[in-house]
Structure 1
Amino acid sequence: MAVFTRPSRPANDDAPDTARPEPVAPEGRLRRLRTVHPTAARVLRRTATALSAALVLMALLLPNTLHTVTPGKFARLPVEGIIGAAVLLALPRRPRLVAAVVAGLGLAALTVLNLLDMGFHEYLGRGFNLVLDWGLLDDAQAYTEDAMGGAGATALAVGAVALAVALFAVMTLATVRLSDVLVRHRTVAARSTLAAAVVWTLSSALGIQVAGLPVASDHAAALLQGQARRVQSTLRDEAAFEREARQDAFGRTPGEQLVPDLRGKDVLFTFIESYGRSAIEDPRISPGVRRTLDAGTKSLAEAGFAAKSGWLTSATYGGSSWLGHSTFLSGLWVDSQQRYTTVTSGDHLTLTKAFQKTGDWRTVGIMPGVQKAWPEAGFYGLDNVYNAFELGYRGPKFSWSTMPDQYALEAFQRLEHGRKRDKPLMAEIILTSSHQPWSPLPRMVGWEDLGDGSLFGPIQRAGTNPAAVVADGTRSKEEYGKSVQYSVTSLTQWLERYGTEDTVLVFLGDHQPIARVSGHRAVRDVPVTVVAKDPKVLDAIAGWGWTDGLRPARDAPVWRMSDFRDRFLTAYGSTPSGGRG
Structure 2
Amino acid sequence: MVRRRVGLAAALVLAFVSVLAPGWISTGSLLALVRVPLESVVVVLILAGLRRPFARRTVSILAAMVFVATIALAALDRGFRSTVGQPFNVVTGWPEVRDAYGVLRDSAGPVASVTLLILIPISFSAVTLILAGAFLRITDAVGRHRRPAAIGGFVIAASWIALGFSGAQVVPGESVAAADTIHTVVVKAEQVRIADADQARFARASATDEYARLPASSLLTGLKGKDVIVAFIESYGQVAVQDTFFSVGVDDVLRRGNTELAAKGYSERSAFLTSPTFGGISWLAHATLQTGLWIDSQQKYDQVTAGNRLTLSRAFAEAGWQTISDVPSDSGPWPIGRSFYHFGTELTSQNVGYQGPPFSYALIPDQYTWEYFQKHELAGPHRPLMAEIDLVSSHTPWTPLPHEVPWTAVGDGSLYDPQPDQGLSPSEVWQNPHLVQQLYGQSVEYSLSTLISFLTTYDNPNLVLVVLGDHQPATVVSGEGANHTVPISIISRDPEVMSRIASWQWQPGILPDRAAPEWRMDEFRDRFFAAFE
Q: TM-score, normalised on structure 2?
A: 0.94
CA contact (8 A) 2:26 2:77 kept: no
1:305, CA displacement in angstroms? 1.1
Residues 64, 399 of structure 1: alpha-carbon distance in 2 compared, 3 angstrom cutoff: farther
Which residue does the alignment assign to 1:7?
A: none
CA contact (8 A) 1:395 1:456 kept: yes
295, 310, 326: which one pairs with 1:334?
295
Which residue does the alignment assign to 1:143?
A: 103
- Equivalents in 2 of 1:561, 1:64: separation in Å? 35
Is 1:71 matched with 2:30?
Answer: yes
Q: Over alpha carbons, which structure has the higher Rg?
A: 1
CA contact (8 A) 2:235 2:471 kept: yes
SS at match of 1:348: coil
Residues 282, 172 of structure 1: alpha-carbon distance in 2 compared, 3 angstrom cutoff: farther
Q: Which moved more, 1:65-74 or 1:179-188?
A: 65-74
Is 1:83 matched with 2:42?
Answer: yes
Q: Deviations over 1:257-287 (max 9, x none)?
A: 1122111211110000111111122423211
437, 459, 465: which one pairs with 2:397?
437
CA contact (8 A) 2:24 2:33 kept: no
Is 1:279 matched with 2:262?
Answer: no
CA contact (8 A) 2:29 2:171 kept: no
SS at match of 2:419: helix
Which residue does the alignment assign to 1:471?
A: 431
Alignment map for 1:504-519 (pairs within 5 Å): 504-519=464-479
Residues 300, 67 of structure 1: alpha-carbon distance in 2 compared, 3 angstrom cutoff: farther
1:124, CA displacement in angstroms? 2.0
Is 1:315 matched with 2:276?
Answer: yes
Calculate percent identity across the aligned residue pairs.
38
- Equivalents in 2 of 1:190, 1:88: separation in Å? 13
Alignment map for 1:420-435 (pairs within 5 Å): 420-421=381-382, 423-435=383-395
Which residue does the alignment assign to 1:455?
A: 415
CA contact (8 A) 2:35 2:177 kept: yes
- Equivalents in 1 of 2:292, 2:140: separation in Å? 59
- Equivalents in 1 of 2:494, 2:299: separation in Å? 40
Which residue does the alignment assign to 1:60?
A: 19
- Equivalents in 1 of 2:357, 2:184: separation in Å? 44
SS at match of 2:402: coil
- Equivalents in 2 of 1:231, 1:519: separation in Å? 28
CA contact (8 A) 1:101 1:176 kept: no
147, 156, 163: which one pairs with 1:187?
147
CA contact (8 A) 1:85 1:193 kept: no
- Equivalents in 2 of 1:227, 1:130: separation in Å? 7
Q: Deviations over 1:72-115 (max 9, x none)?
A: 22222233234334333433353444322221121112212222
- Equivalents in 2 of 1:258, 1:475: separation in Å? 47
1:45, CA displacement in angstroms? 3.4
Q: How many residues align?
A: 530
164, 167, 178: which one pairs with 2:127?
167
Structure 1 unaligned regions, length at least 5: 1-33, 35-41, 574-581
- Equivalents in 1 of 2:475, 2:25: separation in Å? 11
- Equivalents in 2 of 1:229, 1:209: separation in Å? 24
SS at match of 1:243: helix
Structure 2 unaligned regions, length at least 5: none
Is 1:115 matched with 2:93?
Answer: no
323, 326, 329: which one pairs with 1:369?
329
- Equivalents in 1 of 2:456, 2:245: separation in Å? 29
- Equivalents in 2 of 1:211, 1:392: separation in Å? 55
- Equivalents in 2 of 1:476, 1:380: separation in Å? 35
Alignment map for 1:515-530 (pairs within 5 Å): 515-530=475-490
- Equivalents in 1 of 2:485, 2:85: separation in Å? 13
506, 509, 517: which one pairs with 1:549?
509
Which residue does the alignment assign to 2:349?
A: 388
Q: Which amino acid in 2 is paired with 1:267?
A: V
SS at match of 1:426: strand
1:237, CA displacement in angstroms? 4.0
Q: TM-score, normalised on structure 1?
A: 0.87
